[in-house]
């Protein structure tokens, strides 16, 4: 009898891995495997015309942060890299804060609608998210261009007589990222607010708490998991953004994603590009681990 | 405060409601304007000069656009077919089963494309495929199909898994008790119930593949533009409403599919 149970269990296990094989093979070839190759490449020597030479070198990793002076071989910080890294982090943080300011009240609004209409409001948030990111970035670009709708309206109404240059600035990148990633903030915030017991909020008001006190002492602590989840869901893709800074920054204001691309194009330094990719991946993983920890503790569902 | 019991409603925070209204307007305004100006008679994307379908006609007649459209659709078809098939099998193996060793690793592997920044995957694939292209000389659509299939898997997997979790095992057990073979059970019991989930997953995968820019841009060989990468290339030049017209068509496809997805995944309740 135990023999039978054992062989059945064995078969079950074999079936399971057979079923998993197609997905895992595809992912190994086109997702996990290439990352390991990238890691390997970051320790090689750049080839003259792109590609690599198979000689071990830590130069690429060194170049992520430092640079050697071409004349006297002295060491200095790689200012260009550091300023791009700083811009990426700064703009991602600002995008996250902007998303909280817009997303928190929106999630609160949706969570306080009658139950049957909440799904429809959330659908309205999600529709833009599931449409093409490039098209949405492009839509914002048309709006804020010098000849765009915003400037045309302002000139027409006589508020300004010269268009305000917004496109190709850091502000433009931030506006673009805020626009494309905002739904990622609303989604988890709504998930935790939907479960918020509004009797507690009411009790707070009954006990003469001010609006601000209720927000800070009752609502915020209860929706904190959603707030953390939303912040990370916005911060992570912002940090790795490529399309939005390329379109809105016009190749002048680079972010980390564009710097990586540059190494595989004009820069012809694949190992450096590989090292920068792994750096980006590492930052993102730290953020995600932080997210999983806080989500695991509070058990917030998303996605 | 006598009014606190009835007259005051915590659900109405006018400040919050105002910001929420602004938020909805901001979300839709740019896209609405984009669509409106695709019908512009003039060459501007900001000054209205009357209604016309000329930009749709010019996009339709543009050979590059035609080729890119066909390529995008073929690619999305294969990628969503492959990703959905793999995802159905993977969902069957990981849902409604006793916890097994390696479950969390498998789950993380399936969802890896959601966690790794696209640009990182894109350059990693560039490195891998550049090597293979040199070795084999093959520069066809296969690379893109493989890359798209991989990042579509989690998008197909999650709705299928959600659907499967909501189905109880009693019907399948009953069928087995009545001597149905495992394949018959799957074909006659599991598949019909799972169908809305599969359809939802396939549509999501299709949309995700159709919309992809970054990975496609790095993986494609010369002359393999899809619609999004073609548009990205066009943005460097003077923008005419032709790009708006293409965008509007793509938007229409995505929005239709997302709304269909919404109702498909709601049916289960």
Query: Does residue B269 have a pLDDT over 50?
Result: no
Give the pairing type, strands A52-56 and A66-68.
unpaired
* H or E element in which residue A67 lies: strand A66-68
Tell me the C-alpha distance between A72 and A70, whole Å: 6
Which chain A residues contact residue B204 at CB under 8 A? 130
pLDDT in tens, B151-175: 999 999 999 998 898 888 888 888 8
Q: Which DSSP category does B189 fall into?
A: I
Cα-based distances in Å from A277 to A264, B48, B124: 11, 44, 9
Q: Which residues of chain A are under the pLDDT cut of 50?
A: 299-303
pLDDT at position B6:
44
Q: Which of A19, A118, A142 would you mutate first to test chain B, the one with the most B CBs within 10 A?
A: A142
Domain boundaries in chain B? 13-52, 63-266
Query: Does residue B7 have a pLDDT over 60?
Result: no
Cα B202 → chain centroid = 9
Query: With contact defined as beta carbons under 8 Å apart, do A136 and A271 qualify?
Result: no
Identify which of A92, A121, A131 has the alpha carbon closest to the alpha carbon of residue A193.
A121
User: CATH number of the domain at B63-266, please?
Assistant: 1.10.3720.10
Average pLDDT, chain B: 89
Query: Residue written as tokens 């070839």?
Result: A29
Cα B229 → chain centroid = 16
Query: Does residue B8 have a pLDDT over 80?
Result: no
* pLDDT: which is higher, A174 or B176: A174
For the entire predicted model, the pTM comes to: 0.89
| Out of A221-230, B139-148, B207-216, least confident range | A221-230
- Ordered by where they begin, the domains of chain A are 79-298 (1.10.3720.10)
Radius of gyration of chain A (CA): 25
pLDDT at position A303:
37
Which chain A residues contact residue B28 at CB under 8 A? 128
Query: Does residue B61 have a pLDDT over 60?
Result: yes
pLDDT at position A49:
79
| Out of B83-87, B94-98, B127-131, least confident range | B94-98
Please answer yes or no on whether B4 and A206 come within 8 Å at the CB atom: yes
- Residue among A34, A246, A256 minimizing CB distance to B125: A34
Query: With contact defined as beta carbons under 8 Å apart, do B77 and B206 qualify?
Result: yes
Identify which of A117, A26, A107 has the alpha carbon closest to the alpha carbon of residue A302.
A107
Q: Which DSSP category does A36 fall into?
A: H
Q: A68, exposed or middle or buried, with CB in 10 Å at 0-12, 13-18, 19+? A: middle
Which chain A residues contact residue B20 at CB under 8 A? 105-106, 108-110
Tell me the C-alpha distance between A275 and A264, whole Å: 12
ipTM of model: 0.88
A163 Cα to chain B: minimum distance (Å): 13
B132 Cα to chain A: minimum distance (Å): 12
């Amino acid at each position: 009898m135990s023999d039978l149970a054992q062989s059945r269990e064995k078969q079950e296990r074999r079936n399971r891995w057979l079923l998993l094989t197609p997905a895992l093979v595809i992912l190994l070839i086109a997702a996990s495997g290439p990352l390991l190759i990238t890691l390997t490449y970051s320790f090689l020597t750049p080839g003259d015309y792109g590609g690599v030479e198979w000689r071990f070198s830590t130069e690429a990793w060194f170049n992520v942060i430092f640079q050697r002076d071409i004349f006297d071989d002295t060491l200095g910080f790689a200012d260009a890299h550091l300023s791009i890294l700083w811009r990426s982090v700064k703009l991602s943080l600002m995008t996250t804060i902007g998303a909280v300011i817009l997303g928190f009240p929106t999630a609160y609004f949706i969570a306080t609608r009658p139950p049957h209409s909440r799904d429809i409001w959330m659908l309205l948030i999600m529709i833009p998210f599931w449409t093409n990111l490039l098209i949405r970035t492009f839509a914002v670009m048309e709006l804020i261009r010098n000849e765009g709708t915003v400037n045309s309206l302002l000139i027409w109404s006589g508020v300004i007589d010269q268009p305000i240059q917004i496109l190709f600035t850091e502000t433009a990148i931030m506006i673009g990222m805020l626009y494309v990633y905002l739904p990622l903030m609303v989604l988890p915030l709504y998930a935790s607010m939907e479960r918020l017991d509004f009797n507690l909020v009411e009790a707070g008001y009954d006990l003469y708490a001010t609006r601000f006190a209720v927000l800070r002492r009752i609502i915020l602590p209860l929706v904190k998991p959603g707030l953390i989840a939303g912040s990370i869901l916005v911060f992570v893709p912002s940090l790795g953004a490529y399309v939005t800074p390329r379109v809105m920054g016009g190749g002048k204001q680079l972010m980390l994603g564009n710097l990586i691309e540059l190494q595989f194009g004009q820069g012809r330094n694949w190992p450096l590009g590989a090292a920068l990719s792994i750096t980006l991946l590492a930052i993102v993983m730290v953020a995600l681990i932080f997210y999983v920890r806080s989500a695991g503790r509070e058990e917030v569902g998303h996605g | 405060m006598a009014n606190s019991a009835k007259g005051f409603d915590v659900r109405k925070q006018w400040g919050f409601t105002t910001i929420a209204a602004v938020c909805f307007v901001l979300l839709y305004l740019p896209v609405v304007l984009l669509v409106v100006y695709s019908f512009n008679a003039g060459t501007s994307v900001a000054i209205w000069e009357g209604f016309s379908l000329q930009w749709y006609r010019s996009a339709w007649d543009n050979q590059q656009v035609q080729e890119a459209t066909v390529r995008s659709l073929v690619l999305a078809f294969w990628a969503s077919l492959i990703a959905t098939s793999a995802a159905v099998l993977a969902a069957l193996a990981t849902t409604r089963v006793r916890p097994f060793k390696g479950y969390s690793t498998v789950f993380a592997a399936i969802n890896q494309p959601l966690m790794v920044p696209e640009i990182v995957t894109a350059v990693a694939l560039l490195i891998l495929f550049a090597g293979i292209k040199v070795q084999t000389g093959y520069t066809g659509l296969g690379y893109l199909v493989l890359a798209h299939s991989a990042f579509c898997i989690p998008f197909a997997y999650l709705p299928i898994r959600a659907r499967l979790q909501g189905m109880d095992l009693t019907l399948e057990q009953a069928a087995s008790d009545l001597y149905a073979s495992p394949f018959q059970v799957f074909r006659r019991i599991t598949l019909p119930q799972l169908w809305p989930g599969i359809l939802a997953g396939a549509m999501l995968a299709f949309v995700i593949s159709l919309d992809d820019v970054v990975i496609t841009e790095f993986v494609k060989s010369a002359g393999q533009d899809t619609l999004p990468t073609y548009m990205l290339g066009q943005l460097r030049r003077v923008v005419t409403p032709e790009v708006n017209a293409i965008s509007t068509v793509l938007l229409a496809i995505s929005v239709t599919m997302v709304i269909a997805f919404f109702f498909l995944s709601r049916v289960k309740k």
